[in-house]
A and B are shown apart, each in its own frame.
Chain A
Amino acid sequence: MINLQLPISEKAIRELKIGDEVAITGTMVTARDAAHKYIHDNWPDWLHPILNNSMIYHCGPVVKKHADGHWSFVAAGPTTSIREEPYEAAVMEHYKVRAVIGKGGMGEKTLAGLAKSGGVYLHAIGGLAAVLAQCVVKVPNVYMLEELGVPEAFWQIEVKDFPAVVTMDSHGGSLHKAIKAKSDVVAKRLIFG
């Protein structure tokens, strides 16, 4: 297990290889479909300090608002990342985001972007919502909650020992491509004999 402390340097990220298991501690932000579209349409400056050398978590949480106004995460597993494929490489490069955390992996455009700007794709376990919510120790801020709604808002979160696996690295490695290549061979045999 490799411990990653946020903010993190490009150099530390480039040392990671596919298959590495990591535990993340520090401050990151959630962003999914509507948030990525918003970023790509506006390129807002206010996101720079939030994203610089940090990570984006593809997650639409179940949250709880407490009587004193503060928020906590109740359930917070990853959502499918491939929907952000049109945007992610450009977003990571523009804001110096060092990793995205999600599920299912991403495509060639993101893989090339990881190599260019120095980033990795971290795979969290889909559906692991109760356990991963326990790793979110604090919710310091939420941005654009009114405009985007609970699942789509930018939730800034402090995590401790958040578990994930590197499935795409900055050296062109993709576990998803490797698994797909193998299963294609089996599928071809089953379908065509």
Chain B
Amino acid sequence: MFQYNEEILKGQLLELIKQASTDLPPDVVAAIEAARENEDEGSAAKNVFGMILKNIDVARAGGVPICQDTGTNIYQVHIPVGVSMNKLKQLIETVTAEAVEKSILRPNAVDSITGKNTGNNVGEHQPFIHFEEWDENAIEFKLMLKGGGCENVSTQYKLPDTGLGAGRDMEGVYKVIVDAVNAAQGLGCAPGILGIGIGGDRMTSHLTAKTQLFRKLPDINPNAELANMEKRLYADLNELGVGPMGFGGKTTILGVKIGTAHRLPASFFVSIAYMCWAYRRKSMHLNASGEVQYD
């Protein structure tokens, strides 16, 4: 039976939140550095990327949030058989409130009827925690902080779409994604990273899209057709010229990650989870000896 020390795990989870909020993953920083190199000397786009890179350094050095919108806190937790999900949920909620006290997270849970902020970032579905059992004798916590600006430009299409001439096939999928990114312009804090969900029902389609954002930027989709589509969209979307913050430039998108879910014969959804450049995700692996690794 897997066992852990509650007090120690609380400290480890706080560190996970802190790293997620204050230290952008190396693959994302590398993509932003490459984007900066690619922009024209003296352009607004190059200047914006320079400021973004400075902000990443200041946040990491000072242990302060990269972005004030510390977002929806999305957890994907893998547990071995026998570990209580309720207990882990309580621990995560406790540590979330502590992170607000320490100004690592913003109180981001607002009652949808009264408008009252709970003050500690804990509320219905905040944080959002998805548990899955696995065979490994360890617990893995994956955490993503997804801000409201990019969530507001995330969207879902239903194929066929007559206006776009998008049918129920991969060309149709391509067309609605181009439409979504063009509509988003700089509003989701471009350059964005796209998590795409093809198929499913409305809920699992969005879930599939969001889950793609746990993949690292350099990884290649194991499905050859999806890998080609990711490559094609990445190249074509960067022709839009939206640029960082919508100021114009060569970089509109930093990556495209596509996943699929089986659909009903009647439904063909395409979901687009737009992630801002402040692509905050971190994972923590806790083994049976109590050792943790952050990635």
Q: Of the candidates A64, A163, A191, which one forms a contact with B179 in the assembled complex, judged by CB atoms under 8 Å apart? A: A191
Number of interface residues of B (CB under 8 A): 54
Binds B, one of A72-80, A85-93, A108-116: A72-80
Cα A31 to Cα B31 in complex, Å, equals: 33
A190-B236 in contact (CB<8A): yes
Jot down 30 A-B pairs with beta carbons below 8 A, ordered by A: A60-B106, A61-B106, A62-B65, A63-B103, A75-B103, A75-B106, A77-B67, A79-B149, A104-B185, A105-B186, A125-B52, A125-B245, A126-B189, A126-B276, A127-B189, A127-B276, A129-B59, A130-B55, A130-B58, A150-B106, A150-B107, A167-B247, A176-B186, A184-B182, A186-B239, A186-B240, A187-B179, A187-B182, A187-B240, A191-B166
Residues on A with beta carbons closer than 8 Å to the beta carbon of B59: 75, 129-130
Cα A19 to Cα B42 in complex, Å, equals: 13
**Chain B nearest CB, measured from A66 CB (Å):** 11
**Chain A nearest CB, measured from B102 CB (Å):** 9
A76-B68 in contact (CB<8A): yes
Interface on chain A toward B: helix, strand, loop, or mixed SS?
A: mixed
Which B residues are within 8 Å of any A CB, using their own CB? 44, 48, 51-52, 54-55, 58-59, 62, 64-70, 103, 105-108, 110, 115-117, 119, 147-149, 152, 164-166, 175, 178-179, 182, 185-187, 189, 236, 239-243, 245-248, 276-278
Residues on A with beta carbons closer than 8 Å to the beta carbon of B58: 130-131, 134
Cα A80 to Cα B274 in complex, Å, equals: 15
Q: A-B contact count, CB below 8 Å?
A: 160
Interface string of A37-78 (1 = CB under 8 A from B): 000000000000000000000011111100000000011110
Q: Of the candidates B52, B64, B119, which one forms a contact with A127 in the assembled complex, judged by CB atoms under 8 Å apart? A: B52
A149-B117 in contact (CB<8A): yes
Q: Of the candidates A59, A130, A165, which one forms a contact with B66 in the assembled complex, judged by CB atoms under 8 Å apart? A: A130
Number of interface residues of A (CB under 8 A): 48
Cα A22 to Cα B117 in complex, Å, equals: 34
Q: Is A26 an interface residue (CB 8 A)?
A: no
Closest residue on chain B to residue A80 by CB atoms: B149
Cα A62 to Cα B277 in complex, Å, equals: 19
Residues on B with beta carbons closer than 8 Å to the beta carbon of A192: 165
